[in-house]
Amino acid sequence: MESSTKKDVDGEGSRLRRTSKTVEDPTTDPKTITSQEPSRKIHFKNGFNEISRITSFFQESYISARRQFRMYAAEGCDSYQQLEINAKGFSGEDLTIDIARIGLKNPRNAVVLISGTHGVEGFLGSATQAAVLHKTSILSKDTSLYFIHGLNPYGMSHVRRVNENNVDLNRNNAIDEALWASVNEGYTKLYDFINPESPPSTIDDFFFKAKVGWKLFRHGMRSLQSAVTAGQYQFPKGLYYGGRVKEQSIKLLESFFKEEFQNTKKLYAVEIHTGLGPSGETTVFHDFPENDPRLSDLTNHFSSFYKIEHDKEGEVATPNLGGLQQGVQHILSNCEVSWLIQEVGTYDPITVFRALRKENRQHFYTDLTGKDLIKVKRDFLEAFVPQSEKWRIRAVKDGILMLEIGTNCFF
């Protein structure tokens, strides 16, 4: 295995861990593995049907999730590297984006599985990445499989959706610099409701649904959702803040893609998210133009299993700028990029928005510590990665199926 790494500091297990599902450090440190000839095919180990096996892939802290990922990278991948982030984790640990590859560098075809764009949501993506390594499958010799683990390690470690600068990375990948100066007028009008500049209170919590009901009555669900979630570039402490410059994680991702996929002709990516759509169900988002032949392939292969929506329109999706796929397509201009988002619903939209609003206020306007802080983090984690066994099993299996179907569909 090739290895490019600076540090490998995991530290002690985070206080956020709610279960004892930990994974021991790998007996072979990824840093010490010598280079060897990559395998010519992508192999996954035997399948997993036992409920306990699937649920055991879910870790309850960034530290343990990263440790698990590094163990699998050491055991079965041809290349592994860590990209350091200039921030510290919840327990003071160094933060890294970890990337592993099965197959050759600069392949003709590349399959990419991404977790943790929205920090807290990364625990599903991390579990799916671990599970993929145990699923029986073979890809042709000209295809390589990539795992990008914890794109937003700060958010994953601190159990936040955003990064160390309160930036939503999925609204930060600007192709046009004018994005930073753009104004979301709908958001601006609703700012006081979306981002009360005060600690959360019992009274506010009690009247929250009534306030939402009034806003829905005045604006309608669609326009309200669009105004809130489309992204904004004016309020650094507000929800869905897209930043004013490209964040470090985005720059590192772009540099990696430019170097790794110089000669790649086709790239299929699955970016894993949670919190939007019907509970427990996967919605597949794409950005194919209406006349793109891949759209009919997508419909033919995926519609029997998932609801499919364009990521700028539809019942679930709302338009937003600065998404990862837009930036990747821009820098890989000679590559056909097929980028799908797996969005797994958790709770109803009002409950999820309430959790986002409350967590953001607690982060900026309280000084919680100890058990009080832990409870806030646990409640927020539940909103995006429920403890339900049924939810977790279905979400992981859906992700693996998306990976397999898309590989057959787009290559």
Q: Is 213 domain-assigned?
A: no
- Say which CATH number the domain at 17 has: 3.40.630
| Dihedral sign, Cα of residue 111, residue 48, residue 386, residue 71 | negative
Q: Is 302 domain-assigned?
A: yes
Give the pLDDT confidence score for residue 315 in this predicted structure.
55
Q: Is 98 domain-assigned?
A: yes
Exposure on the CB side of residue 174, measured as CA atoms within 13 A: 20
Domain that holds residue 250: 2-166+244-348+385-410
Q: Is 208 domain-assigned?
A: no
Q: Is 330 domain-assigned?
A: yes
Encoding tokens for residue 209?
Answer: 């649904």
Q: Which residues contact 10 (CB under 8 A, 6 or more apart)?
A: 25, 63, 66, 67, 93
Q: Is 379 domain-assigned?
A: no
Q: What distances in angstroms separate CA 294 from CA 143, 222, 310, 330, 338, one per listed residue?
A: 19, 28, 13, 18, 8
Give the pLDDT confidence score for residue 347 in this predicted structure.
97
Of 339, 342, 320, 340, give the one whose Cα is nearest residue 331: 339
CA angle 15–21–24, rounded 5-degree value:
95
Encoding tokens for residue 227?
Answer: 């105004």
DSSP for 200-222 reads: --HHHHHTHHHHHHHHHHHH-HH
Q: What distances in angstroms separate CA 384 from CA 11, 18, 201, 264, 325, one per listed residue?
A: 25, 15, 22, 34, 22
Q: Is 182 domain-assigned?
A: no
Whole-number Å distance between alpha carbons of 308 and 316? 10
Give the pLDDT confidence score for residue 51 in this predicted structure.
54
Give the pLDDT confidence score for residue 41 in this predicted structure.
40
Whole-number Å distance between alpha carbons of 112 and 110? 6
Q: Mean pLDDT in runs of 10 for the chain (411 residues)?
A: 46 34 34 35 48 85 97 88 97 97 92 98 97 70 93 98 97 91 91 93 82 74 77 96 97 96 96 96 93 93 92 60 86 95 95 94 94 92 97 95 90 88
User: What's this model's pTM, rounded to 2 decimal places?
Assistant: 0.87
3-state DSSP assignment of residue 179: helix
Q: Is 65 domain-assigned?
A: yes
Number of domains in the chain: 1
Give the pLDDT confidence score for residue 50 in this predicted structure.
54
Give the pLDDT confidence score for residue 113 in this predicted structure.
97
